[in-house]
């Protein structure tokens, strides 16, 4: 089956920033005296900043006000932004550039659909800021995944109907968002284990066998 439009998640699909998220959240948790480990961090994949914070605060011994939660989220983002300064073209995941070039060669329209508010900075630092026909990110949406808003916005920017789009995701919440948008989903990494994913990718280059 050929797809005319492919929408990519960002973190964990195109670029590796997971470790930076972990380090920033770990610093917040340590400062607040809250237990946090990589298993908990794995629950945050594909989830918005505030929703991630709520997961972390499940282990907190105090109740935080909304204002305190917003301060924690802002502090985490400052730590994360500092870590993003280390990003280079080397942080683009294996096979990504080859896959994007292959899709373009076959006239497939490509977009990014990410809940991250740092999407443009990340794409710029890894040299992919001009690689896509459309970009929809966390600065433009009200609801994060598994709500389909960001994928529907990406499709709208591509001028495409949802049913003509294939989403590439690495997080269960992202797979659900794609399904909720009425799109087919190709899962990679953790998302490859999700039954709702129509396709599973061992590596990103496998996408070329599906979309073109």
**CA dihedral of residues 58, 59, 60, 61 (deg, nearest 10):** 120
Name the helix (H) or strand (E) containing 201: strand 199-201
Query: What are the beta bridge partners of residue 7?
Result: 111, 167
Q: Are strands 184-188 and 199-201 parallel, antiparallel or unpaired?
A: parallel
Taking the C-alpha atoms of residue 144 and residue 191, their distance in angstroms, rounded to an integer, is 17
User: What secondary structure, in 3-state letters, does 38-55 show?
Assistant: HHHHHCCCCCCHHHHHHH
Q: What is the DSSP letter of 93?
A: P
Catalytic residue among 9, 18, 133, 206: 9
Taking the C-alpha atoms of residue 152 and residue 67, their distance in angstroms, rounded to an integer, is 31
Known catalytic residue at 37: no
Catalytic residue among 11, 37, 133, 170: 11
Scanning the chain, the segments in alpha helix (DSSP H) are 18-32, 38-42, 49-56, 66-84, 96-105, 119-125, 149-158, 172-180, 208-211
Known catalytic residue at 133: no
The residues annotated with a catalytic role in the active site are 9, 11
């Amino acid at each position: 089956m050929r797809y005319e439009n492919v929408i990519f998640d960002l973190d964990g699909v195109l670029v590796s920033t997971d470790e930076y998220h972990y380090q920033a959240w770990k610093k917040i948790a340590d400062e607040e005296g809250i237990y946090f480990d990589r298993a908990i961090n794995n629950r945050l994949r594909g989830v918005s900043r505030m929703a991630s914070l709520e997961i972390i605060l499940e282990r907190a011994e105090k109740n935080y006000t909304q204002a305190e939660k917003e301060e924690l989220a802002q502090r985490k983002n400052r730590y994360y932004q500092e870590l993003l300064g280390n990003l280079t073209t080397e942080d683009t995941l294996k096979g990504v550039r080859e896959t994007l070039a292959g899709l373009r060669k076959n006239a497939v329209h490509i977009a990014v659909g990410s809940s991250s508010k740092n999407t443009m900075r990340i794409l710029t630092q890894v040299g992919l800021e001009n690689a896509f026909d459309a970009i929809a990110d966390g600065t433009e949406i009200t609801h994060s995944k598994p709500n389909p808003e960001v994928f529907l916005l990406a499709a709208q920017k591509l001028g495409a109907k949802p049913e003509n789009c294939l989403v590439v995701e690495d997080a269960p919440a992202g797979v659900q968002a794609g399904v909720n948008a009425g799109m087919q989903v190709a899962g990679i990494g953790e998302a490859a284990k999700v039954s709702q994913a129509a396709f599973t990718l061992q590596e990103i280059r496998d996408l070329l066998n599906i979309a073109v």
